[in-house]
Structures are given as C-alpha cells and as structure tokens.
Amino acid sequence: MPRRASGGTLAIGSGSAYANDRLAPAAAMADSGRVSYIGFDCLAERTMALAHVRRRRNPASGQDERIRRLLPLLRAYLAAGGRVVGNFGAANPDAAAADFVEGLRALGLPGVRLGVIRGDDVLDLVVAQDAELPELGTTVGALGDRIVSANAYIGAEPIVDCLREDAQIVLGGRLADPSLFVGPICHELGWSLDDWEAVGHATLVGHLLECGVHSTGGNFEDPPYRVVPDPHRLGFPLAEVSEDSAVVTKLDGTGGAVDERTMKTQLYYEIHDPRTYLTPDVTADFSQVRVEDLGGDRVRLSGATGREWPATLKVLVGVDQGYRATGEISYGGPGCLERARRAEEILRAHLDELLDPGDQVRVDLQGMNSLFGDKEGTAYPEEVRLRLAVRTESEDLARDAAHEVELLYFGPAGGGGVVTSVLPALGVTPAYVPRELVSLETEVVTS
C-alpha cells in the first residue's frame, strides 16, 4: 500500500456530536463554503442503547432520527459536491440509507452516491464466542436471551472503501467517533491506513472535531473561572489538515473560542492514557502533541503519533434489564428536607410491599445527596426535589412504582411538580472480540 503522500491540505468540519445535537451549526458549516467534508458523530453508549430500544419496538426504526430534517439544510452543499460521513445508521444502517435516498429524491437530488457500511452488528459472534463481560463479571452465555444487541466499534477502512467508490455520503452503524474524520483525511491526503504515524495524526484531528462545541468552549466553560464569548451560539469546529499539522478554528461570527485552553481541554477528554489511546484505526499517542495558539480563534496542533491498531475491537453489548421507572416531586420552604425524607420513608414502605426481591430501588434528594451520597452540605436548603428510580422485570410493577410518587400529592404536605416515566431499560457494557472475526461489507447505492 502507498505510504503517506506529501503536500496537500484538507478542510473538514464537524456537523454533529451526538444523536440530538442542534442542526443549525451543521447548516452553517455546510453554507460556509469552507469545508469539503462534514463529519457527523451521532452516537454514544446511551444513544446507541436508545436506538436499539426503538428498533425493538419497531424493526424498521433504530436509525438517526434527524435525517429528514437535516437533508434540506444540506441541499446546496450536496448539490455543490460536498461530502458527508456519519454513523447515522445507529442500530439500523439500512433504514438510515432508505431515509437518505427518499430525502434526496424529494429534494430533487437524484443520482447521489451513498455508501452504506454493514457488519458492526456482531450479536451472533459474541454469542458464539461466549464473550466475557468484564464490567459485569460474567459472560454473554450466562445472560442468555437477556443479550439483545452487540455492536463493534469499527474504523476508517470501510469509509475509505466507500470514498474510493466515489460515494458522496457515507453512513454506517457504530463507526468510531474519530474514524468519521480519519477516513476522509487519509483518503483525500493519500495516507495509507497502516501508516500508523499518519493515522495517529488524523485521529488527533478526529478527536478534536468529534465532540462539536466541546472544542469551541462548551465543555471548557466553568463560570466564573473559565468563560467564553456568546456561549448561547457556539459554533462547531473545523480543521485545515496537512501532512505534519492541523489548524483548528471555527466559523467567523459564531460564539465560543478556539484557543490554547479550549484545545487542551478537549485534547485530554476521554482518552485515559495519552500514550495509548485505543481506537479501531490505531493505538494513538498524544503525549507529545504541541499546541500553538495563532490568535484569531486558530490553533495549530502537531506531534501526534501512533502504533499498530489493537488486536481486538471493542463491542457495545446491550443487556435487557426490564423496565426503568422514575418519579420526581419537589418540596420547598421551612421543613422541606424533613418532608422529603418522610416522603422517602413512605415510598420505601409501599415499594417493599409492591416490588419483587430482586428489583432495584434508589431514592435521591436532588441538591442534597444525589451526586455525593451521604456527604450532604451543612446549609439548610430552601427547596429539595425527591427522585425515585426503580428497575424491575415487570412493566406493570414499574408503572405501579412510578404511581407511588404521584400519590405523594396526598402527603407529606406541600409536594408539587410531579413527573413520572416508565421506559424499557437496556443497559450497555463492553466486550472485546478479535478484529479478524468482524466481517464488514460496503455497498454504494444511488438516490
């Protein structure tokens, strides 16, 4: 395979950081004329689980739910040849592809080539392997039919395959976050996917773009100590990528900041060991990254390297945990804490009679102990909100448990603002499988 080509620059932007992200910044990125690729990260552990919940209710769903609203905002960009890469498929890549094809035709954009990536669904594989579930201290086989999904984090290789087939839009399921950017970067700049140093550099760029407004100040803000301008209209980041460095910036006139501080904050976000950041594409090393603030919301980064990719792929395994019931009620004024604790006492007494022995119950007093357990503050609160959470195998018991919070309207005195919900509970936990056992396929269809 060819090694890294010299010369050339690619401008690539962020269009999404999770499944329910704002669409306006993506539209602004598309309309800016500054990028030829936009990467859409639509998934996290939680959102992947929710996608599987939707697909269990309706086998024709499970894809990203914003596709039909997003496409009209990208019409001019796509008509001009701009390219899009995203894990829009979530739990159902074929449903996402159908949404794109239908939406493109409705916009008068026939003939757009769409690359569809399949194979991240490895449920049969983890069952056959009886994969270990280290966080749960058990195996897939031991949980039997409670295992309802398994999706491998896959990398840039199938993205590059689709781009080589001249796909203008590339979508898949659990494409890893940085890989959405690694694929276009390596394809356009002619970098081999086994040039570990180059892929490590591309992964740095992907890591800085994948989380959207994290890189422009959102995750950096900690008033009054750290603030950025106009946080109510943060722009998404974009990068100008060359062989040895990348300049990260944002669109003119948008809020937030791209400076040394915001870049360093995102640089160490979620990577654990900066010398060994494991992705499907590379074992990246960010320990020697240099951050140079150029002023004017422009920062140059360089020095990322990498080693051979891991021998295993991480898999997100979905576990059926029955149903989750939640309920909240507020108490305020003198005695509010004592009334909330009395409400908890009443709740627990009723739930002891109602629920099965294996059901899980948690009661928090928000503002007092929901984050730090028994380490309550010394100041007496002006208000407190009680929150009940129950996990049970029975939907009927879940509904009965949530109803107990509503019944607190009848005492202790002064309770108000009750909200309840009952939802399927699908937990997620990691497993690992040999990467050579994960078989991926790509197909290019046209609108």
Residue range 94-129, pLDDT digits in tens? 999 999 999 999 999 999 999 999 999 999 999 999
Q: How confident is the model at residue 240 (pLDDT cuts 50, 70, 90)?
A: very high
Please tell me the distance from the alpha carbon of residue 147 to that of residue 303, in angstroms, as a whole number.
Answer: 42
Which of 51-55, 244-248, 390-394 is least confident?
51-55
Same domain? For 235 and 291 the reply is yes
Same domain? For 211 and 323 the reply is no
| Residue 3 lies inside a defined structural domain of this protein | no
Same domain? For 234 and 329 the reply is no
Please tell me the distance from the alpha carbon of residue 174 to that of residue 118, in angstroms, as a whole number.
Answer: 9
Whether the per-residue pLDDT at 244 is higher than 70: the answer is: yes
Please tell me the distance from the alpha carbon of residue 207 to that of residue 39, in angstroms, as a whole number.
Answer: 12
Same domain? For 327 and 301 the reply is no
Residues with Cβ < 8 Å from 418, sequence gap 6 or more? 327, 328, 329, 405, 406, 408, 409
Task: State the burial class of residue 29 (Cβ atoms within 10 Å of its Cβ: 0-12, 13-18, 19+).
Answer: buried
Q: How confident is the model at residue 84 (pLDDT cuts 50, 70, 90)?
A: very high
Task: Residue 446: name the closest of 165, 111, 117 by CA.
Answer: 111
> Based on the structure, what is the number of domains in the chain?
2
Q: What angle do CA 147, 153, 154 make, to 5 degrees?
A: 130
Same domain? For 328 and 284 the reply is no
Please tell me the distance from the alpha carbon of residue 247 to that of residue 148, in angstroms, as a whole number.
Answer: 42
**Contact criterion met (CB below 8 Å) for 307 and 417:** no
Same domain? For 304 and 231 the reply is yes
Where helices occur in 111-195 by DSSP H, the ranges are: 123-129, 140-143, 157-164, 179-189
Query: What pTM did the predictor assign?
Result: 0.93
Q: Which of 294, 310, 326 is the last residue in one of the domains?
A: 310
Domain range for 231: 10-119+154-310
Per-residue model confidence (pLDDT) at position 3: 41
Whether the per-residue pLDDT at 374 is higher than 80: the answer is: no
**Contact criterion met (CB below 8 Å) for 234 and 262:** no
Take residue 39 and report the two structure tokens written for it: 């990467």
Q: Which of 244, 276, 310 is the last residue in one of the domains?
A: 310
Same domain? For 225 and 355 the reply is no
Per-residue model confidence (pLDDT) at position 4: 45
| Residue 5 lies inside a defined structural domain of this protein | no
Whether the per-residue pLDDT at 35 is higher than 60: the answer is: yes
Same domain? For 213 and 242 the reply is yes
| Residue 4 lies inside a defined structural domain of this protein | no
Per-residue model confidence (pLDDT) at position 5: 47
Same domain? For 306 and 399 the reply is no
**Contact criterion met (CB below 8 Å) for 150 and 75:** no
Take residue 282 and report the two structure tokens written for it: 């590379």
Same domain? For 276 and 363 the reply is no
| Over residues 428-447, mean pLDDT | 97
Mean pLDDT of the chain: 95
| Residue 137 lies inside a defined structural domain of this protein | no
| Residue 132 lies inside a defined structural domain of this protein | no
Q: What is the pLDDT of residues 246-300, one digit of tens each?
A: 999 999 999 999 999 999 999 999 999 999 999 999 999 999 999 999 999 999 9
| Over residues 56-76, mean pLDDT | 96
Task: State the burial class of residue 350 (Cβ atoms within 10 Å of its Cβ: 0-12, 13-18, 19+).
Answer: middle
Task: Residue 306: name the closest of 395, 418, 199 by CA.
Answer: 199
Per-residue model confidence (pLDDT) at position 375: 66
Which of 219-223, 239-243, 407-411 is least confident?
219-223
Helix (H, G, I), strand (E, B) or coil at 428: strand
Per-residue model confidence (pLDDT) at position 7: 63
| Residue 433 lies inside a defined structural domain of this protein | no
Same domain? For 281 and 405 the reply is no
Same domain? For 340 and 395 the reply is yes
Task: Residue 150: name the closest of 424, 426, 431, 437 by CA.
Answer: 431
Q: Which of 263, 288, 310 is the last residue in one of the domains?
A: 310
| Residue 386 lies inside a defined structural domain of this protein | yes
| Residue 439 lies inside a defined structural domain of this protein | no
Whether the per-residue pLDDT at 327 is higher than 50: the answer is: yes
Q: First and final CA of the chain: distance in angstroms?
A: 32
Amino acid letter, 291: V
